[in-house]
Structure 1
Amino acid sequence: MQGEAQDRAAMWRGNDRSGRCQYTFSVPSPSETSCPQNGGPEMEGLKARLSLLEVLVARLSGGETDTPPSTHSKAHKDLQDSLNRAIGERNLLQGEKARLERELEGLQGRVEEMRRETERLRSKPCPAQTPAVPPSPPLQDSTLRRPAGGFGSMSNLMTRPNRQGDSSSLRDSAWQYGSPSDFQELKAEVTQVPAPGSTQDGTGCGDLVSVAEPVTHRKADSIAGKYGVWMQDPEATSPYGPNMVWRIDTVGSEIRQLFGYEDMEQLSKGFPSKVLLLPDPVEGTGATMYRGSLYYQRRRSRTLIRYDLSSESIAARRELPHAGFHGQFPYSWGGYTDIDLAVDEQGLWAIYSTSKARGAIVIAQLDPNSLEVRKTWETNIRKNSVANAFMICGKLYTVSSYTSPDTTVNYVYDTGSSQGRTVSVPFKNKYRYNSMIDYNPVQKKLLAWDNFHIVSYELRLGQQAK
């Protein structure tokens, strides 16, 4: 075998890496055709370490790993859902923040408005009070003091009407206690026209000669009673007698309560014997009482209503043709007094204006049953230049100012002759804010509502011309 190996041996010579001469020879194995792969455990360990290093590098660089694809898909979906929820919550919080900021701005505006109104009221001088008439006890209608079976507490109807100038939209907003002047008060300058005094005497049905000092019957104790209307039916019918007194507080947007008192004494004590809830709300202070019915203007319309007291239902309803309403042609103080109903010796009247009359007072005589217009007269005195008006013996009288303590009845228009003229009859606004004046033909008195106070005036009329 040794000799055979020598015959098959191969030898060669060459320099190694260091440059030294090296002899190399090879002898084929007599039993193995090929040698096994070299490396052993060291090579396997190196491969494992290399694989681990590749995995770490892939994770750090965000590349693909040997993690199953389903695991990656689920994790990505959960992460996306969480992100969507977070964005949705952020949007909701931003919307809530914007809403709160708007509410804050609105509240700040209201506070500023109330502050200005408070400063205005503080700067306004208080009217001088005369001790001639003792103060009346306060109103107690908010909680009616009646025996068992009587009327309970009345609901609060005090909401804020439109401000002046809102007649186009005919909408009312919420009424605030702190700003009663927002009830469409028109601060108009009224020029009083002097005229020769009357020389007539007597108590017939001639011209108005004089108006006595006002007599106070009652004072309201809440802001709802700053404006109002009170009435006595000159031709009362059953079940109510001629002494019955009726009252409506007209501050608010849904005026529907009608209070009834057995007589003037019960009115002064504040104990109503009847409280009716009207089917339609009242507008302004132009209501009146006649022949067992209440006549009034329906809120935000030119519709007139006849409410029968005995049946407690509407007996007639009719529009007053072309009449202005809801602040178009009020008296100078405002209050949506576009249509003023009145009663005198000749029946039922409406005092109003139209666009055709350009704001001048129009007088209409009405049928008390159907509310149909029988005849109309157009005057030449502008309605918003006078404080109030009333009818006596078929004649229209106007009052110059609603705030001046010493003013005049400054104009008269006779429907019999269709002629008007200026007059100068002294008139007192004792409490300096007169919002309602009506004539009672039986008592020969004017009934008025002057700045929370229910008052009346004795009249002196001249002899009727023959």
Structure 2
Amino acid sequence: MWRELALCLSCLVLSTYGQESAHLPGSNNHTAKCQYTFTVDNSEQVSCRGAPEMEGVKSRLTLLEALVNRLLGGEGAAREGAREGAREGAREGAREGARAGSDKATQEVYIQYMEEKKQLNKQVQELQMKVDHLSLEAETLKQRACHQPQDAVGVRAQLQDLNQRAVNNPSFAAYQEMKADVTEIPASRLLKDAGQNDKGCGELVSLGDPVLHRKADSITGKYGVWLQDPEAVDGPYSNRTVWRIDTVGNDVRQLFAYEDMEQFAKGFPMKVLVLPEAVESTGATLYRGSLYYQRRRSRTLLRYDLISESLAARLELPHAGFHGQHPYSWGGYTDIDLAVDEQGLWAIYSTSKAKGAIVLSRLDPVSMEVKRSWETNIRKNTVANAFMICGRLYTVASYTAPDTTINHMFNTATGQGKAIAVAFKNRYRYNSMVDYNHAQRKLYAWDNFHMITYDVRLGRPGSASQ
């Protein structure tokens, strides 16, 4: 386009110059035709006269060519820039598409990974539940196999031997006399001799291996309280009812009730009660139809009646430390620990006056008034837990060591304590609650999500120093 414009301009300039050199005079003749005569200067005249004008034309043509070249060059550069921009845009679009495709593929792989992880976690939980169930069955079978005292087995063998002798011996009278001597020994005496009497209150001799009853299935069950009422009252609940509180959280109020140990093992509560005030820690206990517990962030003790589902009494425990002032060694705000034994309801705690040493107070189970207190020389934060049996305080040395001991005993009857060494196992390495049930003669414990029991063996009353 610009080249055509330049040619037109050149023609225009040349035609203008030609008009200055050509003369076209006209005349009329008798034939009515116009005649034109051309007069053209010769070459010498033109060169002499037109040299300056030609130089001006050349100069103007040079300027026009430069202008056209600049215009053509700018348009070409613009077109080239446009083409380069288009190419770069295409490349960038391709890169963006590749990145988008890569991100989408990565997202799809991540989603698939999370789904597979979820399935694997579910399978692991199911396998763990099966393992726990099989462990529970194995322990149950073991207990059934070892349920009868060894002395009773020996007596049965002796009776069978005597029967065989009677068959072969005609002197049956002598046999009858021997049989009478043997059968006069009652089963309760055999159990007492084995240290398993129901009414005797001797000193702690040994504990059985931990028996698993249930494992918590969420993080709120890392530690808590579980127990049965050793002296349940008539009503909707019995001494077979199992109670549980998961104490992980800031506002713990739920109290789960299970019909019996079988339903507890299956995880099917028959009722869930909501406590009117939050629970502080793992120090709660059950006794005669009431739940006794410490109110959160206070030294106030509450008695919650399970039948009426209401608060029946409260006590501000004098000078008791709370919320981390004097806990057990594992922590958990275990400043006040309530316990029950053959002699009634107890509070295990410390005060600023006692400077961290364990203080024992016997409480009235109805009004919760303090009847009597004892101060021991056992530092509360140096022991992992404590419980009461027959008016004696026992402490656990460690809450994590797999093989530890019951290391101290304090007798409220004499006001004296001593060091002992009764084997104690933390099978799951984080024992946060230990309570005694005198009706079952068992310790109930909560060990790192696992709710377990230990069989308790006591010596004969008076067989050990009191």
Tell me the TM-score range normalised by the shorter chain.
0.5 to 0.7
Pair 1:243-2:258 in alignment: no
1:26-425 alignment, distance < 5 Å? 134=134, 202-203=195-196, 204-237=200-233, 238-425=235-422
**1:201·1:463 contact (CA, 8 Å) conserved in 2?**
no
Who is 1:38 aligned against?
Answer: none
Q: Whole-Å Cα distance in 2 between the matches of residues 206 and 382 of structure 1?
A: 25
Runs of 4+ in 1 over 4 A off after TM superposition: none
Who is 2:423 aligned against?
Answer: 426
- Aligned-partner SS, 1:266: helix
The verdict on how the C-alpha distance between 1:320 and 1:218 changes in structure 2, with shifts beyond 3 A counting, is same
- What are the Cα deviations for residues 384-441 of structure 1, in whole angstroms up to 9, with x where unaligned? 0000000000000000000000000000000000000000000000000000000000
The amino acid of 2:351's aligned partner reads T
**1:231·1:288 contact (CA, 8 Å) conserved in 2?**
yes
Q: Whose radius of gyration is greater, 1 or 2?
A: 2
Cα drift, residue 136 of structure 1: 6.7
**1:258·1:275 contact (CA, 8 Å) conserved in 2?**
yes
Cα drift, residue 201 of structure 1: 6.0
The verdict on how the C-alpha distance between 1:426 and 1:133 changes in structure 2, with shifts beyond 3 A counting, is farther
Cα drift, residue 287 of structure 1: 0.2
Cα drift, residue 241 of structure 1: 1.1
Q: Whole-Å Cα distance in 1 between the matches of residues 441 and 135 of structure 2?
A: 25
**2:361·2:374 contact (CA, 8 Å) conserved in 1?**
yes
Of 443, 448, 455 in structure 2, the residue corresponding to residue 446 of structure 1 is 443
- Aligned-partner SS, 2:381: helix
Cα drift, residue 205 of structure 1: 1.2
**2:132·2:215 contact (CA, 8 Å) conserved in 1?**
no
The amino acid of 1:314's aligned partner reads L
Cα drift, residue 132 of structure 1: 9.2
Q: Whole-Å Cα distance in 1 between the matches of residues 390 and 294 of structure 2?
A: 23
Q: Whole-Å Cα distance in 1 between the matches of residues 203 and 433 of structure 2?
A: 21
Q: Compare the two structures and name the one with the higher helix fraction.
A: 2
Cα drift, residue 242 of structure 1: 1.1
Of 426, 432, 439 in structure 2, the residue corresponding to residue 435 of structure 1 is 432
| CA RMSD of superposed structures (Å) | 1.6
> Where does structure 2 lack aligned partners over 5 or more consecutive residues?
1-130, 138-192
Who is 1:70 aligned against?
Answer: none
Cα drift, residue 239 of structure 1: 2.1
**2:136·2:211 contact (CA, 8 Å) conserved in 1?**
no
Cα drift, residue 220 of structure 1: 0.7
User: TM-score, normalised on structure 1?
Assistant: 0.58
Who is 2:452 aligned against?
Answer: 455
Report 1 or 2 for greater relative contact order, CA contacts < 8 Å, sequence distance ≥ 6. Answer: 1
- What are the Cα deviations for residues 339-390 of structure 1, in whole angstroms up to 9, with x where unaligned? 0000000000000000000000000000000110000000001000000000
Q: Whole-Å Cα distance in 2 between the matches of residues 462 and 450 of structure 1?
A: 27
Identity of aligned residues (%): 70
